[in-house]
Structure 1
């Protein structure tokens, strides 16, 4: 009893310190509860997507509750206003600026929907697939660097959420999960140009029909949502006369995750069809024309 009386007496004599201790106890309790619930959900929920969203929901509401308690303690319970200002000022220091900006970035990403797990984005000159978003970092599976096209490099990148405020965020999959791609085909001038056009257009139409049909409805939604003109999603072929060959430029729409594979299929199919023409259509390569051969005088002694 004497111990309890001493504690109560100390609390009455030091209200500011006792409130700070209460706040620390509540903060630790909330953080431990978040960690416990995340671990519990990780073990009990078999579905990956539901488990991930549940864990993020627990984390989000836990931090919101912590913020509410913090505001309550530092505005209503602590009588010494100067101390409250000092604590807030100490928290907003140069060393915590990046952390605070990262936490703010996580709320911005969540509420605005800049990107979500599963999206392919490019931010701060780093391109990859988003595999996790927490209160401070965005985790990405990197694409590119020393490997060509859109292949994974094998590196997992953790990027501060603060970067959403520092530069553009390129999202390859939000609203419209397709991208335009193109490649050039050099055809010799002696070839049957009309036959070559037929081969390229037919190969593109057959290979890309699925992407075209799906992208039409998706693109209509983009046009209705944003101030943007309608665009042609069907494959298009443009022909350019160069010094060495007739250049066929094939432009088409494709799933953002299948750009490399689709280009491979198109090149292989077009190459096989050109071989079946028995020389009527020939691929070109760089040629050099010798206009004049200089005279060489050789004197025999």
Structure 2
């Protein structure tokens, strides 16, 4: 009889402990949820820039998730330690089964520690290229830009990249200079065409398109050079010549542009030059 009472008391003590842990967990979740909702509402009201607003919302969400995980570890730590010895085999099996998840978390740590990119940056990983709109400990979401590596138009497709790629693949950040970037595009010509005239016309058009913000771009590049301790290339528009194959001349046009206007400025320059010029060699036409 007394043995039965003793067993009942032990079960009652265990159930009370479990109930306490569940109550503490519930309180933690409710508090973090309320604070997160208040913070998100405050950011949406006070931050007017869409890009900055999205960046702050993502960062605060990830911070609250981390805080929740730390709180759960603190609450359940003692209870978990009592089962540590008995779950070693299960833990090994769990690590094997969740290998990809662990690699994703490792990739998240690597990209965060290296400062590879931020929300709003345009990146390329393997064949994936686009603007970063979200990131967490498991995956990074981008809005695809393409087609190919030379165009700058959004395709309307969203790509979710597992963070495991950042462990083994290099990341190309096309927005490293932030507000202003040096945009490069190539215009091919045949050797017999008047590519010298085209070179002059492209340079004039590039200077005309960049004139409204060229001083601001120079200042931005100088500040970046001082902050990063780097020799940042000049912000002046340039048109250089490249011979990629026999019988072909490629004009490499490089212009400073606002990060959000790469495609617009490129199309403006191309339209301006080709709508007012004909680069066929007149002597060849007469023959």
Deviation at 1:200, TM superposition (A): 3.6
Q: Give the conservation status (yes or no) of the 8 Å contact 1:150–1:259.
A: yes
Q: How many residues align?
A: 273
Q: Among residues 109, 114, 134, which one is paired with 2:116 in the alignment?
A: 114
**Residues 121 and 229 (structure 1), Cα distance of their counterparts in 2 relative to 1, 3 Å cut:** same
User: Normalization by structure 1: what TM-score?
Assistant: 0.67
Which has the higher Rg, Structure 1 or Structure 2? 1
- Alignment counterpart, residue 272 of structure 2, candidates 256, 269, 272: 269
Superposition RMSD on alpha carbons, in Å?
Answer: 4.4
1:253 to 256, 261, 272: 256
Which one has a larger percent helix, Structure 1 or Structure 2? 2
Helix, strand or coil: the match of 2:98?
helix
Aligned residue runs from structure 1 range 1-301, under 5 A: 9-10=10-11, 12=13, 26-27=24-25, 30-31=28-29, 34-35=32-33, 38=36, 46-47=44-45, 49-50=52-53, 53-54=56-57, 56-67=59-70, 69-70=72-73, 73-74=76-77, 78-79=81-82, 81-83=84-86, 85=88, 88-91=91-94, 93-110=95-112, 112-145=114-147, 149-176=151-178, 177-184=180-187, 186=189, 198-210=200-212, 212-226=214-228, 228-239=230-241, 248-274=251-277, 282-284=279-281
- Aligned-pair CA distance for 1:116: 2.2
Over 3 Å counting, the alpha-carbon distance change for 1:29 and 1:224 in structure 2 is same
Call closer, same or farther: CA 1:207–1:26 in 2, change over 3 Å: same
CA distance in 1, matches of 2:275, 2:242: 23
Cα pair distance change 1:171/1:27, threshold 3 Å: farther
SS in 2 for 1:158: strand
Deviations 1:83-114 (A, max 9, x none): 364564454x2221222333344455455432
Task: Work out whether residues 42 and 51 of structure 1, in 8 Å CA contact, stay in contact via their aligned partners in 2.
Answer: no
Contact conserved, 1:136 with 1:160, CA < 8 A, in 2? yes
Please give the alpha-carbon distance, in whole angstroms, between the structure 2 residues aligned to 1:120 and 1:95.
33
Q: Distance in 2 between matches of 1:236 and 1:113?
A: 30
Q: Which TM-score applies when normalising by structure 2?
A: 0.69
